[in-house]
Each structure stands twice: as structure tokens, then as C-alpha cells.
Structure 1
Amino acid sequence: MASSTVTSAQPERPPRPNLAFRRLRGKRSPAEFAAAVRRAAREIGERVSCDARYVGRVEAGEIRCPNYAYERVFLHMFPGRTLTDLGFAPRSSVRGRQARSTSESRGAGEPYETYDTRDTHDPHERHDPHDLHDLHNLYETHDNNEESDVLRRAFMTSGATVAAASLGPLGLAFDAAAAGRPARRAGTGEAGALEEAVRRIRLLDDRHGADGLYRRAAAPLRTAYALLDAGASRQATADRLYTGAGELAISVGWLAHDSGRFDDARSHYAEALATARMNGDAGLEAHAFCNMAFLARDAGRPREAVRAAQAAQRAARPLGSARLMSLLSLREAGGWAGLADRVGCEQALVRAQTFFERGPSDADPEWMSFYGEAELEGLEAQCWSTLGDWPRAARHARRAGDLQDPHFTRNLALYSAELADDLARGGRPDEAAGAGMQCLDLLGEVQSSRIHTMLAGTARVLLPHRRASGVSTFLDRHGALPRPA
């Protein structure tokens, strides 16, 4: 595991919190507010990749002025207000303020101070290619020209153009090592790029599933641990690097998990757990154990799932997030269901609901932006399905699909697949075929081996019912699907 060398330095200049923006969020959690931002963007034809981390960075003052796409969305959300009313600095005051030279910055061992936003170019955002101000602002994302290249790269996934989170420029650490030169210590720019890679991978997974992302995401992970080996010049930066590397390991592990590479996923989750414990990061430890519990359940190791979920809850209790405890209780419930322990499962489900009803809070981790009522219903559906209570499972799966934010395309496909399977096994083949067709409609955007496996199981159950309404059409269309690689 990587080590970090930290030397004393002047403390980083603290940003001034954006209290006006925080007041506008009101009682909504950062994740709920981010969802509102995305909805507002769609209303005016924009697509922004806003999540809880972005909201947190705005409120912390790290983003002094948003890019033009976010500006249009915020002014649409709060008509009659200016950027200054929203707590941002005038654009004229941040334009061109990255004053240090390359040699001056590198001589100090730290990248430039960033005055502008680090928000990155969303591949789905719509911009006029002739608007030079927009283009200039889009790529003022990191501290120098090298690092801004991080977010200019794109790749193709089965015909859908999506932006890849890449730490290519930070791969200079590998080049230096190959040449026999020591890699320079990481600074705030590298830490920011690492955090951005985690955020973008999660957003792409929400929309497209894991299969097309996994191998591409492994390269940034290798770079992240190379940065840890190189060390950081400040303790605050080192802590960000450890957390970022651990979260990236979990994200890559999830991509492996969802694409059926269970051994790879287990290795990545274990790496994240070791990173968390090395740095005393309880939040990262809880996240790693959470995903380990989910993987153990899917891999047919239900007792391990229960123990991992319980370990996650022990790590999470001091963090003060009821929503996190709710999710971890659901992970435990899934393990008990796998053990055919209905009582243990029901008790864990009651705890999950009780914690959930306490509502969101500022203590909720940003990676939990996917966890809302829809996911609660979906995970409960999986528990009842494992216990063989098909009607109850179908009710929860149907509710999950009805509640799901359209942004989470992969989850919509997952809930449709779950519903189709529950209906098929519950003796309702015509309804199962209808739900299966809804899932198939989404598979042009989503690549998930887990969902393909679920649909294949449903198709086998429906084979004897080919004459039922819609079943033959579903089976024929499913049979024509290309098999996941």
C-alpha cells in the first residue's frame, strides 16, 4: 500500500464560504439540491453533471464563479437574482487571475492557486462552439494547461459518446519513474483532479452502467496510488489524496462488480478498506464495508454480507448520517435474506426504514446521492425476492421504478429487470413481459452484466409461457440482444 511523505508548509489559503448559496439550499440535502439543479437544467435544455460534491464545493467557497452552463441554470432557478446575489464573485474578478507562472509553481512543489471553478465539461452539456467565452471557461477546470487536459478526453462506448474520467496528465508520475527520475509531490491540483475522476465515473455509471467503463477506469486508479507513493507537500493534500484514492478504488470496484468481475471487485474493495484504515478515515471504511457486503451477497456469501454490513455500521455510527445507517441496514437485510432468515431480514428492514425517515442531513456522504426512496424500495424488493415472496417483491420493485429520478438510467433498468423477474416467478407472465420490454428499451444506453444476467433468468422462466400475451415478443427481442463481452 502506498505511503505519504508530508513536509511542513504554509497552510493553504482558506476559501470564504458562500453563505448566500447555502441559504438558498434551505432544508434540502446537498444531494437533493443537486437533483433540483439537474432538473432545472433539463427545463432550459442544459445538461450539467451536478452532484452533492459540487454543491458542497460551491458552499465552501471553492468555486468562486460557476461556468456559463451552471450560471444559466442557477439564474433560471432563482429568477431576478444575479450571480452576486447567489454569493458568487463577479466573473470579471476571477477571469485571468491564475497569476503564478509554471516555473514558479513547480519550484514551490505546488500547483497554481485556482480562482475559477474546477467544474468540468459534461459531455451532455450543450454549448455553442462559437462562444469563445463558454469554451474558455469550460476548460478553466484545474490549475494549469496540463491538468485541464484531464477533462478534454473522450471515449466511445458501444456507439454512445461519453466523457471518460482520466488522470492522463497525472500519469507523468509513471513517466518520471520509468525515466529513473523521482515523481514530483502531488498538490491540490492533482487532488482535485482525482476527486473529479471519482465524480465523473459515478455519473457515467448512473447513465450507462459499468461494462464499458471498467477497463478505462483502472488507469486513473493506478495513477492515484502512484500519487500516494510520490507523497504530498501538505498534510491536508495528503488526506485528500488518501480519501480520493480510496473512493476511486471503490468506484472501480463497483464497475467490476456490476460487470460480473467479482474477484476484481473484491480486490479493489479490499484496497479501499486498507487505505481507509491506514489514514483513519471512518467514512471511507464504512463505504468500503458497504460495498463488500453488497458484493458478498451477490457472490453467494450471505453470512459474509451480514458481517461486512455490521462492520460498516460500527464504522458509520460516529459519522451522524441516518441515511447512511439506513443503507447499511439494508445491506445487512440482504445478507439475512440470503441466509433464509426472515426474522433477521425483517428486523434489519425496519431499522433501515426508521433511519431513512429521519431524513437527509449535511453528514450524508456525497457518494450516497443515489440513495433515496427509490433505492430503498429497490433493495427491499431484492430482499423479498431472495426470500421467495414474489408478490411483495414485485410491489416494491414497481414502486422503485415509479420513484426513480430519470437521471439514474442504470437504476431504472435494474428496477425494471427486478420487476420482470418477480412477476415471472410469481406467475404473471404477461406483466413480466411488459416490464422486461421496458428494461430492454433502456439497454441501448445501459451496459450492465448484472442486468443482462437478471433478464436472462427471467427469459428462462418465461419460456414455457411463450403463448401468453407479449411473452413471445419479449423472448424474441431478448434473444436478439448482443451478449455482453
Structure 2
Amino acid sequence: MNVTHVSEQAISFAIWERPAMRQALASRDIAGVYQLLQRVGVSQRRIAALTGQSQSEISEILNGRQVMAYDVLVRIADGLGVPRGYMGLAYDGDSQHPLPAVYQEDGDEDEQVRKLLAHAAQVTIGAAPASVEEWSRPLPHQETPVPDRIGEAEVETVEKVTESLRALDYRYGGGICRDAVLAQLGWSNQLLRASCTEEVGRRLHRALADQHNLAGWTAFDVGLYPAARRHLARALEQAKYAGDPSLAANILYRMGRVHLHQERVKDALRFFQLGQISAQDASCELTVAMLCVNEAWAYALLGDEKLALKSVSRARDEFARADQDSAPGWVRFFGQADLDAASGVTLSNLVASDAHLSEAAELLAASVEGRAHDMARSKVFELIALATVQLLLGEVEAGLDHGHQAVTLVTQLRSVRTIDRLAPLEKAAFKRRAAAGADHLLQRIADVRINPQR
């Protein structure tokens, strides 16, 4: 077996996050897991190479043989790169494989220092063998202490950290920063136990609401929809408690986007409409514009051209009146490129005439042109939409070029959502498969579903 080759072809993390796959893993339905892998292009031979099973054994499993042996389940999980917890399998326990003495917390400080000095000496002279497997195990966790009393400075720190993590999400995808968001949220939440003034307490709840807002958004971006809903639900509660209708409206917008992505369009529309109520209370034109253009997208998917165009028009009017510089951080991202992109996507979903597609192409091209480099994920969405529209219009060369640009960017992000959004482009490219170069794009899209790092 060529182990190096197999490791280079590691299956994408995105595969394990899909709802059907998560369900199969949770129930230890190995046949179901293998079938789902085959649907995205993973062959029986490759499954066998990764899991150490023979192809005949794989065939038996696909034909109904259940896998019950714990050690085989562990070997399958580790070979495929599935987090063991997804299959209800235990990670190696400390009792079976205890950490070296230097990592144990027993003994007084003098004893711990002696252990560290001895360990440092062994590592320095090469007497302590390296163990890569051991390094993958977490070290004992100890909570970071928080102050007994907090003021504006501590809350401002929470806000600034959220802002920094949000920038990482925009640029690299939720898979890069979700764990960091959750870790920060765990610490920030402890601040609720500290004493503070009523005003500081209200600001803290608002800051926590926005961190949950970001936690929900990053969960959504990697396909963890139940986790996204939980965080967004808590975010909305705390935003309402803090008396911030602008933040509440933003959270409702994100709830809508989660369900729009899942093709629950009517549910998404209801969330957008609830967001409008909060946005009106906030007197924030930028938030109203954002919600209106997303309502338009939903109306277009529902086939209501009149309401879709009406919502686009209102979004443009509200955006023209908005003061983007004074808008809060959670909505400040919504600029001209975002308005153009959402308007273009809306028009591309209206099938009444090619005129809509032509205008959609112009808007999407403008959004791509105006997109800043630090908003890579947004640019991917816009390139995908632009390429799709161009292929539908028969502008095949431009469509394929933008399609390749989109796929290249997808491989540089940790975002399941960007992979999911390749589906319309794949469909449009398939219709043009007779054109030179279309097969290459189709192959790249198929590859990226299996391994997005190519």
C-alpha cells in the first residue's frame, strides 16, 4: 500500500458534517457511510485502503453485513478521518494511556518544577522519544480565571475579540475560527458571574449576544445546523434583554440565511420579516436594506416576481439613506458589493426573461469587482453566481473562467457552505458539457466535494 498517496487523498472534513452522514455515523451505519462516500466519488478501493479492509469485506458491508466489533469501528473512524465522537466512540482514555509525569497535576509546586526540569533535560539531549500520537491528545484543562468585578474595559475586550474573530470568518471561513469563537465564548460567559453596574451588565449581555451570533454563523458555515440554531436562539434572547433591536434584527437575518441555505424558503422569509420588525425599531436603514434584499431573494425562489422586485427597490432606497460608517459592527459588512450581489442573485432566480439574467450578470460582475480581499468567502459566492449566470446566457468562456476562479478559492477556505453552493454552477456547466473546457470544470467541482484542499 502506498501510505503517502493515501494520506494525501484524505477525505474532506466537509463530508462528515453533512446531516445524512452525521446521522449514519451516529447510528454506526457503516454501510450507509460507505454508500454516502461513494456518492461523492470515493471508490471502494480507496475506502479499503484507508480503513485497512479488503474490497470483499467492503462489499459484504455494503450488502448488509453489520459492523459490531468496537476495534473495527475505531479502525474505520481513524482510517477515514472521522472524529470518533461522531460515532459515539471513546478517545484513548488517560487510564489506559496515562500522560507522562510532567503533564500530571499531582504534587506541590516544587515537585512540578522538578518534573519539568527533568523532562526538559531529557528532551534537550534526545533521551525522551517523540510521540506524535500522544500530542494529539488534549492536555488537562483549567479554566482561565475572571475578575470578581468588571467594568467597561472588560466588556470592550469581549467586543474587540468578537470583531477580530468575525474578520477571520469572513476571510477564511467558519472552519478556521469556530473553535476559537467557542473558547472565547466560554470565557466571556463566565463574566456574568462578576459584579458590575447595571449599565455594564446590559452592555455585557449585548456583547455575549453578538458572540453567540458569531458562534451560530460559524456553525452554519461548517454545516452544523442544530448548533447554529442553538447559538442564534441564545443570541436573540440576550439581544432583546440588552434592548438592542439592531442586533436582534441581525440575528433574525442570520436565522433566515440558515434556512434559505437549507431550501426552507418560506421559513427563511418569516425570519426576514421578523427581522424587519426589529430593524424598524432600531431605525437602522442599513439593516432594513439588508433584510429587504434577502426577502427579495426568498420571494424570487418562491416565484413571486412582483414582490421580489419591490423588495429590491426598497433595499436600494434604504441603502442610499444609510450611514454605513456609524452602523454597528455586526451589520457594517453590508456594503454596495453585498447589495449588488444579493440583487443579482435575486434576478438570476427570476425566470421570466433573459433580461433579468443580463442585469443579474452586470450586478454580480460589479460585486466581484468591488469585493475587498478580506471578504474571500463572499467573493466565492459571487463568482459562483456570476459563472452560473454567464453559462446560462451562453457566455461560456467567461463562465468557465469565473467558475475556475471560484473553485480555486473554495479550496482555500474552510467552509462547507461554499462547497454546497457549487451545485447550481455544476448543473449549468453540465448543460454546456459539449463546450471546450466544461469537463475540466466539472471534474474540479467533483474533486472539491471529496477533497477541498486540491
TM-score scaled to structure 1, two decimals? Answer: 0.58
Aligned twin of 1:330: 293
Secondary structure of the residue aligned to 2:400 is: helix
In structure 2, do the counterparts of structure 1 residues 465 and 202 end up closer, same or farther at CA, with 3 Å as the change threshold?
same
Cα distance in 1 for residues equivalent to 2:237 and 2:243: 10
The answer on whether the counterparts of 1:319 and 1:363 sit within 8 Å (CA) in structure 2 is no
- Aligned 1:450-461 pairs, distance under 5 A: 450-461=417-428
What is the root-mean-square deviation of aligned Cα atoms in Å?
Answer: 2.5
The answer on whether the counterparts of 1:249 and 1:272 sit within 8 Å (CA) in structure 2 is yes
- Aligned 1:432-451 pairs, distance under 5 A: 432-451=399-418
Aligned twin of 1:36: none
Cα distance in 2 for residues equivalent to 1:414 and 1:420: 10
Bigger helix fraction: 2
How many residue pairs were aligned?
308
1:466 aligns with 2:433: yes
- Match of 2:296, as an amino acid? A
> Shift in Å at residue 356 of structure 1?
1.1
Aligned twin of 1:269: 232
The answer on whether the counterparts of 2:185 and 2:212 sit within 8 Å (CA) in structure 1 is yes
1:209 aligns with 2:173: yes
What does the per-residue CA deviation read over 1:308-362, in whole Å, with 9 as the maximum and x for residues that have no partner?
2222222122433222211121122122223221111111111001111124256
Query: Alignment partner for residue 145 of structure 2, among 163, 167, 172?
Result: 172
> Shift in Å at residue 412 of structure 1?
1.5
What does the per-residue CA deviation read over 1:401-432, in whole Å, with 9 as the maximum and x for residues that have no partner?
01212232222222111112223344444332
- Aligned 1:19-38 pairs, distance under 5 A: none
- Aligned 1:350-369 pairs, distance under 5 A: 350-360=313-323, 363-369=326-332
The answer on whether the counterparts of 1:449 and 1:484 sit within 8 Å (CA) in structure 2 is no
In structure 2, do the counterparts of structure 1 residues 413 and 282 end up closer, same or farther at CA, with 3 Å as the change threshold?
same
Secondary structure of the residue aligned to 1:340 is: coil
The answer on whether the counterparts of 2:250 and 2:287 sit within 8 Å (CA) in structure 1 is no
Secondary structure of the residue aligned to 2:201 is: helix
> Shift in Å at residue 464 of structure 1?
5.0
- Match of 1:437, as an amino acid? H
The answer on whether the counterparts of 2:178 and 2:218 sit within 8 Å (CA) in structure 1 is yes
Secondary structure of the residue aligned to 2:422 is: helix
Where in structure 1 are there 5+ consecutive unaligned residues? 1-167, 174-182
Cα distance in 2 for residues equivalent to 1:184 and 1:329: 44
In structure 2, do the counterparts of structure 1 residues 233 and 318 end up closer, same or farther at CA, with 3 Å as the change threshold?
same
In structure 2, do the counterparts of structure 1 residues 387 and 264 end up closer, same or farther at CA, with 3 Å as the change threshold?
farther
The answer on whether the counterparts of 2:292 and 2:312 sit within 8 Å (CA) in structure 1 is yes
Cα distance in 2 for residues equivalent to 1:274 and 1:483: 38
1:424 aligns with 2:387: no
1:223 aligns with 2:187: yes
> Shift in Å at residue 244 of structure 1?
0.8
> Shift in Å at residue 373 of structure 1?
0.9
Aligned twin of 2:126: none
The answer on whether the counterparts of 1:305 and 1:331 sit within 8 Å (CA) in structure 2 is no
Cα distance in 2 for residues equivalent to 1:302 and 1:473: 33
Cα distance in 2 for residues equivalent to 1:314 and 1:232: 33
Where in structure 2 are there 5+ consecutive unaligned residues? 1-140
The answer on whether the counterparts of 2:297 and 2:308 sit within 8 Å (CA) in structure 1 is yes
Cα distance in 1 for residues equivalent to 2:258 and 2:234: 14
Structure with the greater alpha carbon radius of gyration: 2
Q: Alignment identity in percent? A: 25
Query: Alignment partner for residue 410 of structure 1, among 377, 382, 399?
Result: 377
| Runs ≥4 residues deviating over 6 A | none
